[in-house]
Structure 1
Amino acid sequence: MARIKTNSEDVKMLARLIRAEAEGEGELGMLMVGNVAVNRVKADCLDFRNLRSIRDMTFQRPGGFEATQKGYFYQSAREKEIRLARRVINGERQHPASNALWFFRPTASCPGQWYNQANTGRHKSHCFFAPTTVNCPNVF
């Protein structure tokens, strides 16, 4: 069963987002960015209240994804990334992004916390951060 409700356009948008945000991180990195995206739709907490769709999450302001401000995001979705998007929509989770709501690319090492959210780990260039079960139970 899917973790969030989507249609074919949502899947393509998520596919474009994960490619634009993490293509250089490989398939696993793109899956992790997809985990963060799906978690934000599911969360209904903190910075992500009232996000009910992939579109709401993708274009959230402030706090949305940088990739939406660049032309690469607006290229057509490719089959490879569409398959990855479906995997995360259908519930596949990859540590350290399993319950993460944030990620970023630091210039050095990952900090232990980011805006009071715990570091859950790093994959290549991205550090991932998750809320607590008390703050965001829907993510877990």
Structure 2
Amino acid sequence: MAYSDRELLARVIKCEAGGEGDTGMKAVATSIMNRVRIPYGEYHRIGQGDVRKVLYQEGQYDCMRGVIGGAPNPQTIWSNPPDQIHYDIADWALAGNRLYPIGYSLWYFNPYAPCPYNFPYNGTGSFQITILNHCFYNPTELYAQT
């Protein structure tokens, strides 16, 4: 049986930011929903406003991959069922709420070092903010051409 959008988003929130408290999880959920709602560029073209298409886009979220670098990935959405807080944050994000310091960030990652100014490294994103362990990046004008 396929997961509902709510279930899928709750699982990704837990897997991607489950240890970063409400703020960290809302930041990740905001970034994901920014990809769903952006009216131009790669994520608009591929996702078409569909959270499932955004989450299942190949190579975007490690938690959606069973294998990384040829080895089994122990941290996936299938091995980490969500708790009530993850459903609550998924509901919050699906209802159109956003964590405003995130801006229109489409990307986030944990660099385990200071945040680089540009990410992805092709220049389509510029640094917006650090929230706990994740760096968040807004699209640049170059992103519109993707």
TM-based fold match above 0.5: yes
* Aligned equivalents of 1:85, 1:125: Cα separation in 2: 20
Aligned-residue sequence identity (percent) comes to 28
Cα RMSD, aligned residues only: 2.1
Residue from 54, 58, 65 that aligns with 2:61:
65
Aligned amino acid, residue 58 of structure 2: R
Q: Distance in 2 between matches of 1:104 and 1:96?
A: 16
Which residue identity does 2:47 align to in structure 1? L
Identify unmatched segments of 5+ residues in structure 1: 1-7
TM-score by length of 1: 0.80
Tell me the alpha carbon deviations over residues 48-104 of structure 1, each in whole angstroms, 9 at most, x when there is no partner: 123031211111014x20011245411433221111011112222114323100001
Question: Equivalents in 1 of 2:100, 2:135: separation in Å?
Answer: 11
What is the match of residue 138 of structure 2? 130
Q: Which residue of 2 aligns with 1:107?
A: 112
Higher RCO structure, 1 or 2 (CA under 8 Å, sep 6+): 1
**Structure 2 gap ranges (5+):** 66-72
Query: 1: distance between equivalents of 2:58 and 2:39?
Result: 15
Deviations 1:15-44 (A, max 9, x none): 100110001111111111101111111125
Counterpart amino acid of residue 78 in structure 1: D
Which residues in structure 2 correspond to 1:1-140 (within 5 Å)?
A: 9-48=4-43, 49-52=45-48, 53-62=50-59, 64-69=60-65, 70=73, 71-74=75-78, 75-114=80-119, 115=121, 116=123, 117-132=125-140, 135=143
Distance 1:36 1:123, change over 3 A: same
Give the direction of change, closer, same or farther, for the CA distance of 1:34–1:95 in structure 2 (3 Å limit).
same
TM-score normalised to structure 2 length:
0.77
Rg (Cα) greater in structure? 2
Aligned residues: 128
